[in-house]
A and B are shown apart, each in its own frame.
Chain A
């Protein structure tokens, strides 16, 4: 139980590099040695070379590759990757993001290290990764995890950070890439020389094929080695995370939630080279969750079920506990609202404003009596600003699942800053009903029909006059928010605000959820 501290990070890095040297260096060197013998045998290249000459050259190649990889394993590359995903620092006005930032700070203290940088990736997939001193969490994970679960995920990533695992993984992937490049070259040459051999021997280019098979076996072994080490790293990081948080149940529960929503990773947002950095593999494959020999050998992560079982064992808990935790708890408010002659509730103010059917004129019962929902109610309970671009109703500031938005009190339209729009959709996931999913299906169908006849133009779906941005007064652009639901939304390119008509947000959320359920 030796806690690693800030001063030990450098040493952990060199320790990781040492493992690499111990295993990969001789492995790669011997592979090159074998390749030289094959070259000599088939084509008489380096004819004069003996064992020692070959060994020397192979060692020099591995060494050069090692230093190249070391120079190439740069945090700028990770920052580029994050930038390509439009990842951003946490939005501190959003309570959930604030929580992430706080949790990272707490874990940095638990591990006594300098605080790493945090990024939030605006995708719905639930995942997290770390590389160098960067920790990145997806919006989907942030939205679905409770505070202690976020803490556990961050602790897991912090453990990788401490051990310098990403640094090691970066170097090893360079070696694997080098082998693959050689393999590719030999396959290409075997194809290119096929005709040559047909003339000469009337057959396949056997020499090239044998070299290709040899290289293929080498790359297979390299992958096996890499997967074995990577699995060990994940197990160690899980253990270290528990040491930091002293809360194995939270990590088990986080893994449970994260692994149950991987369908969204269908369009994987990470390249395979980076996928071993994530807490669960971002592209679902039966390999990773299987129990057979193949998955035991080739997967870069231990089966999530096994990881969870280990943690549950530590926590003296069972799977039922996890299922219960997955049910979301919400605070109780004290507003009741009349709907179809019945009082329903209680809702908090925020929950109330999340209802799309809450329009002007609806009766709302609070502690201070009965109100009619409208401008006066809004003035009393919220901060109002400006008028709705769609209906001219009063706009007010509110939160939609902790995301700051501006909402219209009359038509339910929502204005949201561009960088918060994806977040809004991730958060809204828990709110849509099956009825809304049904509606969204109908709407998408209608939109598609119109598109077929009228061309791919958002104006054919929503032909109303362009809206004026409530902040700058310029006309807004109409565009499709995505090509799943074909929902036309309005966007102000100057203020960078989206306007969703009342119910449109739910259509989009439900549409994505519907896609999701197709793959379950």
Chain B
């Protein structure tokens, strides 16, 4: 009778643990997905912003046609990307092109004195930062998720649920870490 009671108690405990762990993983997975969705939103925002930006700096930057074209082309590629791999690569290219543009802008005091351009630059900087922070949040969440599905004994539940590690959004270069700097 006592033995039966103990066995029953253990079974109940295991079920409780299983349910709790299951729920934890569901929550974590949702967080990772949400973090990813955030990045997506920001990337779309950036696509919308670029035509406006290029239009307003074009007049000032007649000698920088190459830089502007690089931005326009990278955007076109990013918008038409079909697979996530393509998207990641195209977005990386776009980030680099924009960074180049922001650097060039530094050489045009006229541009920096124009209120409208300043506003656009602020928008661009905001978007770039949002992407960087969304990526940071995504990576942090993925780190927690990946670590927790490998922990024993939770790993048993994870394998039953068929959970796999999510990939980190790797940063190509060290300089990518830093948001573009526009000085006022």
Contacts and interface: CB of A to CB of B under 8 A. Distances in A.
Interface of A: 1-3, 5, 7, 95, 98-99, 102-103, 105-107, 109-112, 146-147, 151, 244, 246, 329-334, 346, 348-350, 367, 399
26 contacts: A2-B144, A3-B137, A5-B141, A99-B122, A102-B122, A102-B123, A102-B125, A102-B129, A103-B126, A105-B126, A105-B130, A106-B126, A109-B130, A109-B137, A112-B34, A112-B141, A151-B129, A246-B136, A331-B112, A331-B113, A331-B183, A332-B112, A333-B109, A346-B109, A349-B113, A399-B115
Nearest to A330: B184
B119 interface: yes
Interface of B: 27, 31, 34-35, 38, 42, 109-110, 112-113, 115, 118-119, 122-123, 125-126, 129-130, 133-134, 136-137, 140-141, 144, 177, 183-184
Contacts of A333: 109-110, 113
Contacts of B126: 102-103, 105-106
A105 B112 CA distance: 24
B interface, over-half SS: helix
Nearest to A397: B115
Nearest to A111: B137
Most buried by A among B34, B38, B113, B177: B113
Contacts of A5: 31, 141
Contacts of B133: 106-107, 109-110, 244
A106 B122 CA distance: 12
Nearest to B131: A109
Nearest to A243: B140
Contacts of B113: 331, 333-334, 348-350
B138 to A, nearest CB: 9
Contacts of B184: 146-147, 329-331
Contacts, number: 78
Nearest to B121: A95
A3 B122 contact: no
B134 A109 contact: yes
Contacts of B122: 95, 98-99, 102
A332 B137 contact: no
Nearest to B113: A348
Contacts of A98: 119, 122
A8 B60 CA distance: 48
A350 B118 CA distance: 12
Contacts of B109: 331-334, 346, 348
B112 A3 contact: no
Most buried by A among B129, B177, B183: B129
B97 to A, nearest CB: 21
A482 B130 CA distance: 41
Nearest to B137: A112
A105 B109 CA distance: 29
A110 B136 contact: yes
Most buried by A among B38, B118, B137: B137
A152 B118 CA distance: 22
Nearest to B128: A106
A81 to B, nearest CB: 29
A110 B136 CA distance: 7
B119 A95 contact: yes
B130 A3 contact: no
Contacts of A367: 110
Contacts of B38: 109, 112
Contacts of A106: 126, 129-130, 133
Given A3-B140, A3-B144, A7-B27, A350 B134 contact: no
Given A95-B115, A348-B113, A7 B130 contact: no
A348 B31 CA distance: 47
A95 B118 CA distance: 8
A349 B60 CA distance: 16
B31 A112 contact: yes
Contacts of B119: 95, 98
Nearest to A328: B184
The 7 A-B residue pairs with the shortest CB-CB distance, nearest first, are A348-B113, A110-B133, A102-B126, A331-B112, A332-B109, A3-B140, A109-B133
Given A109-B133, A331-B184, 10 more contacts: A2-B144, A95-B119, A102-B123, A102-B129, A112-B35, A331-B109, A332-B112, A346-B109, A350-B113, A399-B115
A73 B109 CA distance: 51
A112 B183 CA distance: 27
A444 B144 CA distance: 63
Contacts of A146: 184
Nearest to B133: A110
B183 to A, nearest CB: 6
Contacts of A346: 109
A269 to B, nearest CB: 27
Contacts of A105: 126, 130
Most buried by A among B42, B119, B123, B126: B126
Nearest to A107: B133
Contacts of B118: 95
A330 B113 CA distance: 10
A380 B70 CA distance: 33
Contacts of B112: 331-332, 348
B115 A7 contact: no
Nearest to A110: B133
B30 to A, nearest CB: 8
Given A95-B115, A106-B133, A109-B133, A334 B110 contact: yes
Most buried by A among B27, B42, B118, B123: B118
Nearest to B42: A109
A244 B129 CA distance: 12
A333 B184 CA distance: 12
